[in-house]
Each structure stands twice: as C-alpha cells, then as structure tokens.
Structure 1
Amino acid sequence: MAAPASSGAQLSIDDSLQADSLTNIFLDYGTKTVDGTLTLSYGSCDAGSESTHIIGITEVTSEFQPTKFVWAVPSDAQTGCIFAKDAAGNIIAQSEPYSVSTKFSKRGHPEFEDMYFDAVKFHKSQMAKRDKIHASDKSEKIGIVGAGMSGLFAGLLLEQAGIHNYEILEANDRLGGRVHTTYFGNSSTAYQEMGPMRFPISIDYGDKKLPVTDHNSVFALAKELNKLNGDEEHKIEFIKWIQSTDNNLSYRNGVRLPDGRVPTKGQVAANATLVKDSGTSEFAAQVGEATEEFYTDDWFKLMSKDMYKAHAKALEEGYDDWSEWSWLHQKSGLSLNATDYATGLQPGNIWEDMYDTFTFSATDWRTIQGGLNRLAKGFDPVLGDKVSFGIKVSKLAVEDDGQVSVQWKDKPYDETYNSKSYDNVIVGVPFTIVRNWHLPELPYTLKSAIKNMGYSQACKVALEFSERFWEQYEFPIKGGCDSTDLSAGNICYPSNNFGQEGPGVMLASYSSGDGGLRFASMTEEQHVARVLEDIFELHGDIAKEKYTGNYDRVCWILDEFQSGSWAAAEPGQHKLYMPSYFEMNDGIVFVGEHTDIKHAWISAALESSIRGVAMVLVEHGHIKEAKQLVKKWDAKWMKI
C-alpha cells in the first residue's frame, strides 16, 4: 500500500467495495506514532487534492492506536483512495486506488425493506449516538441470556467470529429450551419429543419436488457441530420422519369397519362409505374459494425459494392488515358458520396460515436419530464451560458506565440481586418470560412487542408401552400420525428403530391452541387419564394390556422457563414489531423464534441469532467477521 512518509504506515480495506454497504478499514501505523486527532477520509488519489468525504474522526494517544475502523460506503462513492491524516492535516497513510461496485439488491416495496436487517442503517443509527468514528478491538464482553437454540447458536457464532469473552446464563438445568426429548428408562430408542420433532425437506409438486429451504440452517448447524466435535458420542444423524402413511388410523365421527376396528387412512380413501358427512363440506368449499389467492403456485414457489421475500410480499399485499376471521367474514362475505369452521372465530394471522399450509404440504421430512436433544447437546464440547445453569435472570439494568447489568435472585423473596455486567447482552428468552422482568427504559414499540406478542399453547403426552404393538397389526403402523377428531389431538408413532423389541413410546396427544389451554387446566393425572381413554378407544384392549403406566406430560404454558409454546403473531404485529428487533437499545439485543418471521421452528431461532450476533459485531466494528458470518450461514436476507 502507498504511504507518503517513510514510516511504513499502510491503509487497507477488508474486501471489494460495494456502494451502500459496510467495510472495515485497517490502519498499520508502521513506525509512526500519532497523538491527537486522527481523520479518515476518501477522495481522489492525488495526494495533493482535498478529500471529498470525511469517513470519521477519533482521538488517539501513544497508548491507544486503533487499527480497525468502520466505513459506511456512500451510495455515490466513486473510484479513489482512502487517507489517514493527523491533527495538522499531514497524510499518515494512503490506500491504493479502489473501485466501487454499485450493485445492490432490491427486495420489494420500500415500505417493507424494514422487514430485513440492514446493517448499514443499523450502523448509522448507532453512530448517531456517538461523537467519533468507530475504532475497535475484540475486548468486548458479551452476555447471552438463555441456553435455548438461539442462545447456544449465538455463542457458537461469537466463538467463530473470534469473540471469546462471552458467557451464557441459563435458568434451567439443561440445554435446549423448548427442544426437549424425554427418554424412558435407560433406552436410547424409547423416547418422544415433547417440543419440536421434525423438519420438512420437500413437497411433491406435480411431477417435481419443491424444496422447503427455510430449514437449511438446521442441517448446516448439524453438519458444523459434527465437524467440530468429530466423535460418535455427539454425532447428529438425521433419519426419515414419517408424517403420514396409508396404515395410520382414520377415526372421525365414530365410524368403524363392520368388524369394529378403526379403519386406516388407506381404507377410508378407498371407500367413501367410511366417511360420515358432518355437514361441513359446503363450508370447506366456501373457505377454499375465499382463500385460494394465498395458496397459488406463485406463492408456493416464492416461499420455497426465499421465505423472507415471501413474507415481505405478503405484507405488501396487505395480509398483515387483516385477521383471517375478518378476511373471510367481512371482506369475502362468508357466513359465520363457514368462518367458524375455518378459524374457530379466532382472529388468526393470514401469514401464519400461509406459512403453515406451505410447510405442512411437505411430503418428505427428517428427524434426529436418538432425539432432538442431540442437537442441543452437540454444543456441549464446543461451548465448554461457557454455560452457567440455575441463573434465573429477572432484571436488566443500564449502569453509569453504559454496561448492561444482568441480575437475578437466589430465592424469590431475597431483597438483593446477584449481577454480572457486560458490554452487550443478547436475550434469547421468550417474551412470555421477559415481560415479567424488570427492564430499562425501552422504545414504545419494543416494549409493546415484549408485552403483547401473541403466543400459542401446546400440551403433549407421551405414553410408554411394553412393546410396539401398533407395528404388529395386519396393516402395521410404522411412524406417521393418525387422523382423528378425538380430544387427544394429534397421535403420532415413532419413526425410529422400526421392529425393535422392547418398550415403545407413542405421542399419544399433541394438542395446541385452545386444546393446549384446556388440557393445561387439568391436573396431570386428569390429563393423562383423559388421553388414555382416547388411546383405548382407538386401539382397544391391546393398548390397555401393553401400557406400562409410564408417561410424560408437558404443557409449555406451565413451564416456568417458557410460559408458552411459540410465538403466534396477531394481525399487524409483524408489520409493527419486526423493525424494533433490529435496533440495539443500551447494548441489549433480542433474539429467538419470536423475533423471526416464521415462528415455532428451530430455523427461526437460529436465523434470529445470525441477525443478533451480526448486530453485536457491527456495533463493535467487526464488519469483516459479520460478512463472513452472513456468507457462511447463507443469510441472504441480511444486508451488510
């Protein structure tokens, strides 16, 4: 690099320059010592000419000689050079000529650009709070609250960005948050997922397969952890999840075969007499006609290719301005009965319905051999002793020096708090918990999101049987979920280790929404007994004979660390709340599936962490590392 003096000072940038983006500028002082004002600027490479643009100014001393700076490259930047000048205007160093690419992506209607994280906008907002250019090192200390998937992944991302001074504070005694596999006995094959349980891969679409790409981050994470760990103990292996088969049972309106058995899905599909008309077919047709514009080929293809663009387009189309109930009854003129059939007369969110319809159209799925807990435990060797358990954070405060104080009590009635201080805090805890914390003053919209974000409720009951009797039927059930109108809700069979002798565990009830609340109000004994009644009605005496009496029951609204299952945004909440998650307030960043566009899924938690860690990296001037993070994890929906 060129330098006008004999000091050997050099200026360089970390990458090719692109207009309207961020880049790092690196200054090597050589033998030169600068004391006082340091100015970075750019303009014509003629050293005698005046610079056309001031990048920034900072104070340096003989002890503080910053070497890395952030430049928000203007949209009209031209080919030229970067200069470093001292207080007297002398050139300390000059870069070689650079060229600027003006190519940048447009995502859609400008009003909905705020649905994407724009690091340039974020950086300029943060710089407006400062009176000098951003000079940085890697001495910052980062606190992460919550060892769910977003918190764990945030730790890994910081680690790989070279930020090693971080720690994770977890209230529970285990990793994973809502990722929770229950194992029965000492078996590694008799288990059931009490939280997330599957990942969609593709949809059979005519004579083609339409990929479901918005879960790619999960598979990329598993591959990364396998590479880092390199051992069988922590290996994460994906196997086929069976969502539905012809041999799964179909039991609605009490219809049975002549011999008293419950028919299979295949038998019902082949015999129309096994379908009892409940008088809703007319309602279904009306709802289908009123909502057909949400489920076109164009929508499915866009959601397959880029879920974030699909989300922005859905907002542009006004789908976040209407509840599903209002769209059907008020806009489309459907009867209250037809609207009730579709929505239960609950408001409903059109985008959520679009996303769920697309996702659950999948015909190819995966799960993890040995349980999804293995994904969370894969972080164990990587993060080492970075996680502290049993710390029930209930307060965040901003100290006089600008650090964030994370506080907790040992016992609820204690009058004093324990505390740790950080330069930044990444909060990966559900808003259902955070809304009960003591918090510093936050902007109105973010406070509203924390207080009012909608959440769905789900309960699961897993039952253990002495053997997998369902696999021994005339039409053996190997995985998949039954179709019933029983109170138990979804009933699913394990997709792992078919034919294995010994105990088997059935997901005997998976009920969400109002059903999750209804079951949560029961005692555990009442709930399990009610589910057993449905399983016995479905399978008969063999289920009574083989039931071991062992079960697990999880209602997430009753969990002190979750107080809910997953975010379920109400109409308008995405449009209003999403941009508030892209702001850093007093060093605090919020991540988790509730801050992403696609709630409930692990991929949403992971992608929120990519955004959250990028915010911290940009805040501390680590643009090169932020760009590497975005590239490695294919986060095309972020602009840096």
Structure 2
Amino acid sequence: MGLSFQLASAAALLVVAGSTEPIPVQSVLFKQPLEVEHGGVHNIHVEYQGDVDGELTVAYGPCNSGSAQAVHHIVGSTYVGSHHRAARHLDHHERRPTRFVWVTPSTLPAGCLHAFLEGQHVGRSAEIMTKHRRVRRQATFASVADPMGPWFDGVAYLQQKQPNETFVASTKNKRFGILGAGMAGLTTGLMLDSVGVRNWKILESSDRLGGRMLTSYLNGTRPEEGQYHEMGPMRFPYEITDPDTNETFPINDQKMVYQVADVLNKINEGNEELQVKFISWIQSSPNTPVSTYKRRPDGTFPGKTEVATNPDYAEPVVYSNETAAAQAQQALDDFKALTPERIKFYATDLFRAHKQAVEQGLFDWSEVEYLRKVIGTPLNTTDEVTPSQVVWPMWEYETVYFLANKWNTIQGGLSRMPEAFRPIVQDRIQFDSKVFSVQHNSQNNTLSVSYRPRGSNPREVTPTTEQFDYVFNSVPFNLLKFWELPRYSSLMRRAIDRTVFGGAVKVAIQYKTRFWEHLKHPILGGCGRVNIPLVGQICYPSWDINATGPGTMMASYIPDYDATVACSMSDDEHIAYVQRAMVAIHGQVAEDNWTGNWARHCWEHDENHAGAFALPIVPQQQLYLPAFFHTEFNTVFIGEHTSYTHSWVFSALESAARGTVQLLLDLGLVDEAKKVNEEWMARWIQL
C-alpha cells in the first residue's frame, strides 16, 4: 500500500448526522507524514474514499482516541465537499483539499493523526514517529536568531497566524506575478520552477534581463571580444588569506552566486553561449594609481608600490589635533573590533555576524554619531577622521569583503548570468511594461497589476491590467513611492517612503590599445582611486591581459553624493572631464589612444531603478527588516533592498530564497518550502 494507511475496513460504514448517505469509517486516508520533528512545520497528505462533505477536523493524539475531545491537540478544521462553506476550496478536486499544514508543538508524545467529520471519527493514521529537531552543524535560527535579526523562522511565521488560516494548503495553480527581471525576480522564478510551481509571469519595465546587473559592450562588440566593462556590479569576493597565519578561508555567503550559475549551466547544457563561466578578477595590482598630490617627474600619478616604497611620494595625513584624531580612530577600531578572528567570523558565518553586530550596537550608530555622542570627539576632528555625510551603520561586511585576496568575475561580463535565464523565462515574461499600480481585490483576494508600455504618454494610453493571486515585488522602493498601492502596514509604508538609496555613475572608455599595460610601470588589472574630483575609482580589465588590439577600462566609478553632481553634467561634458583625468593620470598616451567610444550610466537617472543600491541609514536596517518578512495583501517584497546586506548580487539572491519560502509557506506548501530551503543554501531559514 506504499504510504497509504488503510487501518480499518473501508466497508465499515457510519451515518453522519444530517446526512442521508453512509460514510466509510476510513473515508479519510492519511498518506504522509511518517515522522515529524518537535516544534516543526509539516504537510499532511490525505486521500478521500467516498463523498466526504461537511466540517473536517484533523487532530493528533493517542492512536486509540475515538473523539475530538480525547486528542492531544487540534491541527485544524475546514469545510469540504458539497457543504456550502466549502466554496473557498474551488481550486481543489470536488472542493476537498488533500494537503494540510501541521505546526507541531515543541513537545509531542507518540500518537496518530485523526480525522473527524462533523465530530465523527472517519480516519486514523499509522503511529507517527516523533523526534527532536536535527542539530545542524551550521547555525540555525534557534541558535542565532534575534528579534532584530533577519533570519526567517518559518515555524514562528506560521505560529503567528490563526490555525485555520494556514491549515489548508493551496494548489499549485495559483497565478503569480513577479515584478522586475533583475536577479531577485529571475531567481524567484527559477526557485518556483524547482518545486513545480510554474504558473508565474514576469513584468519587466525595460527591454532586457538583469536589472542592475548590466554590462556595456562598447562599439557594438560581442562578449567574447572583451571590449566591455560593468555598469553595475563587477566582481565577487571569494576567499581571504590571513596574513599572519597564512590560513585561507572562503566567503561563504557568496557561494550562492556560484550555485545559481551551476544550476543555470545544467539547465543550458549543450548551449555554450549560455554557460556562465567564472574567471579571476584582479582587485589589487602594484601599479594602480593612488590618491595623492605627489606626481612623477613626467607629471603622471605614481602607483601603489611607488608610494609605499619611495619616500619622495610620502604624503602623511595631517590633522588639526593629532592626539584627538588618533584617539578617535582607536575608538572606532575598538568598537568595531575587526580582529582576525572577527574577520573570519564575518566571512564564514555572516548570519551569526549580523546577530552579533545587532547585539554589539553597530546598527545603532554611524561613525560620526558614535564619535560625537559616545566618545565626545570634537566636531572638526570627527569630520577629519570620518566624513560627516556618512550616516549609515557600522555593519562592516563590506570591509571584510574588500579584505579578499581572491576575487572572481564572469567571463564575457556579468550580463551573461541573467542572459542564461532567458530559456527559462522567455515564454513567461513581458518586457517594456511599466507598472504603476498594484491594487488588492477584497472580493476574491486577488491583485490587479496595471502597467503601460514604457515611453508611452500616460495621458493618452489606456493601461493594461492583469490579475494575479500573489505578487513578488522586487522593484526598488524609491520607485514604489509613486505607485498606487494597497494600504500596507505603517511599518511597510514607512519602509517604502523612507529607505535611502544611493546613486552611482560609471564611465567606461575604449582605447585603441591596452596602453596601460605597456607603461614604464605597467598596470595589469586592478582598481585604483585618485583624488581628482568626480573620478573616484578606476578599474583596469582583468581579462585578456597583454592582448593586442583595443582595450576598455572603467575610467570612473563614483557613488552617492558625487554621482549626483557628475550626473548633472551632459554626456559630452562628463566624458571630456573623465578623459582629461585619464591623460593627467597616465600621460599623453591616453589621448593618443582615444577612440571616441565610451559608455556612461547614471543609475539615479535610470527610469527603471532611480538609484544604484539601497543605503539604509541609522536606524533603518533594524527598523524595517521585520516588515519584509510579512506578506501583506498577497505581496512578498524581495530585492537587495530587503536583504540584510546591500548592493551585492548575493543580497538579491538571498531575498529570492527568503521570499520564495515565505510565499510557499503562505500557501501551505511546506514540502516545497523545505525543498527550496535545502537546495538553495538557505541556512538562515528555519523550517
């Protein structure tokens, strides 16, 4: 009989009060589960024999229980079959759900599941094995969770709902809308597919995949020609080597990027153009230019090694009060406590590190606030030690990332990864569809999503409206501010209205040759930073080192406030400014190799994003995070801005895993939620 337990003769009949038809005693057959964990969440699978109509109650208790009054606890109740109150189950065959949700108590004696129809016993499972929760080697929610932490506890999530609200599991034929084809939206579709939930559609406002994962291929070249650079994310930190012990350890959270690539490569096996391949990224190189006012005899900028070894280039920082500045810097170092042990902790277990950062108070203070209000550092010294405009918390995950000794990037550009999703989404995506409204329909508990063609005149074009049962919304909050939306909770509405987003602008320039690799002090990959205003970071290509022919470099990358100023320039003005800086840094050779081919992207001017990444200030991180773990009006919010790290590809992927599990639990599809949790490295999710 497999998993089906027919523990009493189906021929034994029972007449239910108010019914004229006999009901088989075992008219409800329990198929699963065979064993459960204390304090866990599980699906109950049943089959029906005969017409089962009326109020169905599932309970757990001693196997010899014959009434609902003699059980350990009630799992849940609902109306099924021809009963007029079973209309909510129209999606189920004959309005009889076959899957239910069981949130088991923290202590559970041995026993059986029982089914009662209008109070009469109509089904009993075999004895169910109970066990205590597995203690995983990695951190679980139980061991690291904090009310201010971001870990998603599926058990607690369901416990906070009314029992009968989550008792009946939905079918998989609900219609799901995914707003946005960035990495969060694309990965959500992939994860839904992985558990057989395929009735989804992506609405994307632009004409491409990837969102802020954007590679510019200059002068109409193809990826394999190497004439590209990244307008969005550029690299993935991979591992750190402790300089004192020579121990090398991975940056574990970034592994999710490689997992997604592996899954895509398997799906696209045999199609070389869609394979995602990683190559080394050179983050640090000896001769990259540095921020200094000293110059070589020929007027060009000295490189990193020269400045470090030649006293003629030494340029010590001068403070108005050297003692106060040293004390302030030491106070910040002591508070952050980024010891070698803490660095490894951040790299290998970011989830615990976040909890510790919350407990330590790192989210309560910016550097400026800490120095001024806790240490009492003079105002001028504070501004000398740390920029006064920096008001985000001291959550130092990025500091740890940039200690990485090994980095990777994607061969042919990071846009190759979202492009690898194309076969998956090609029949379930609509491009150039600019959403402006999401409205909840209380009559049938659905969502109406309205959009217009991108570039159309809203005063002249009639919008299109589609109906969805649920929506994954990955659109940045700074765009949602202007949408027509349901009346979300106060916390969610404030998160939408007030979360701070940073801008960024990047300029890539193609040159006739890779001249920087043939200078007296050759620059072979790497990123440098100069103190020419509005130039910021310069990154030289890590691929095709010493190749002949043209080459493309990231000539300028500036974020935040400076980006706003740079983006106020016209294209021609800005490119001319950056090119003059390249000549100042490298010499006349940069002008001699000028081709006139360039790419510029101002993220705050991008109508599909209106910003580069979330930049929550104190105290937004710990205030708004809990809101994202609640589904409001059938909407789950995903995207890097809803994660506990920001601006990295991993942040978007993490949000997709959390959001997918969250909605599967809303639907009662616990088995599927567990599968996503197990397959997608979602160690921060507890089920």
| Fold shared by both chains (TM-score > 0.5) | yes
| Ranges in structure 2 where 5+ consecutive residues have no aligned partner | 11-25, 83-93
Structure 1 counterpart of 2:287: 247
Equivalent residues in 2 for 1:460-475, closer than 5 Å: 460-475=506-521
Q: Is the 8 A contact 1:45 1:97 kept in 2?
A: no
Q: Distance in 1 between matches of 2:239 and 2:125?
A: 53
Tell me, yes or no, if structure 1 residue 375 matches structure 2 residue 417: yes
Give the alignment's Cα RMSD to 1 decimal: 2.0
Q: Is the 8 A contact 2:229 2:554 kept in 1?
A: yes
Q: Is the 8 A contact 2:34 2:129 kept in 1?
A: no
Shift of 1:502: 1.8
Q: Distance in 2 between matches of 1:619 and 1:368?
A: 36
Q: Is the 8 A contact 2:145 2:151 kept in 1?
A: no
SS at match of 2:262: helix
Q: Distance in 1 between matches of 2:506 and 2:536?
A: 9
Larger-Rg structure: 2
The range that moved more, 91-100 or 450-459, is 91-100
Residue of structure 1 aligned with 2:306, choices 224, 246, 267 = 267
Q: Give the total of aligned pairs.
A: 636
Structure 2 counterpart of 1:597: 644
Tell me, yes or no, if structure 1 residue 165 matches structure 2 residue 199: yes
Q: Is the 8 A contact 2:114 2:121 kept in 1?
A: no
Q: Is the 8 A contact 1:108 1:312 kept in 2?
A: no
Tell me, yes or no, if structure 1 residue 86 matches structure 2 residue 128: no
The range that moved more, 421-430 or 318-327, is 318-327
Equivalent residues in 2 for 1:288-367, closer than 5 Å: 288-293=329-334, 294=336, 295-352=338-395, 354-367=396-409
2:427 counterpart letter in structure 1: D
The range that moved more, 560-569 or 340-349, is 340-349
Residue of structure 1 aligned with 2:525, choices 473, 476, 479 = 479
Q: Distance in 2 between matches of 1:395 and 1:516?
A: 30
SS at match of 1:112: coil
Structure 2 counterpart of 1:17: 36
Structure 1 counterpart of 2:6: 3
| Ranges in structure 1 where 5+ consecutive residues have no aligned partner | none
Q: Distance in 1 between matches of 2:34 and 2:519?
A: 63
Shift of 1:633: 0.9
Shift of 1:181: 0.2
Structure 1 counterpart of 2:296: 257
1:306 counterpart letter in structure 2: D
Q: Distance in 1 between matches of 2:591 and 2:325?
A: 37
Q: Is the 8 A contact 1:12 1:95 kept in 2?
A: no
Shift of 1:107: 4.8
SS at match of 1:289: helix
Shift of 1:476: 2.1
Aligned CA distance change for structure 1 residues 60 and 373 (closer, same or farther; 3 Å):
same
Q: Distance in 1 between matches of 2:298 and 2:575?
A: 29
The range that moved more, 168-177 or 468-477, is 468-477
Q: Is the 8 A contact 1:234 1:377 kept in 2?
A: yes
Q: Distance in 1 between matches of 2:471 and 2:539?
A: 39
Identity of aligned residues (%): 36
Structure 2 counterpart of 1:122: 157
Equivalent residues in 2 for 1:180-259, closer than 5 Å: 180-184=214-218, 185-188=220-223, 189-205=226-242, 206=244, 207-230=246-269, 231-253=271-293, 255-259=294-298
Structure 2 counterpart of 1:59: 79
Q: Is the 8 A contact 2:472 2:635 kept in 1?
A: yes
Q: Distance in 1 between matches of 2:547 and 2:582?
A: 22
Q: Is the 8 A contact 1:146 1:429 kept in 2?
A: yes
Aligned CA distance change for structure 1 residues 92 and 507 (closer, same or farther; 3 Å):
same
Q: Is the 8 A contact 2:541 2:552 kept in 1?
A: yes
2:643 counterpart letter in structure 1: D
Residue of structure 1 aligned with 2:468, choices 422, 436, 447 = 422
Shift of 1:526: 1.7
The range that moved more, 178-187 or 284-293, is 284-293
Aligned CA distance change for structure 1 residues 201 and 619 (closer, same or farther; 3 Å):
same
SS at match of 2:129: coil
1:112 counterpart letter in structure 2: P
Structure 2 counterpart of 1:39: 57
Shift of 1:442: 0.3
2:499 counterpart letter in structure 1: M
Q: Is the 8 A contact 2:295 2:313 kept in 1?
A: yes
Structure 2 counterpart of 1:626: 673
Aligned CA distance change for structure 1 residues 107 and 4 (closer, same or farther; 3 Å):
closer
SS at match of 1:439: coil
The range that moved more, 609-618 or 104-113, is 104-113
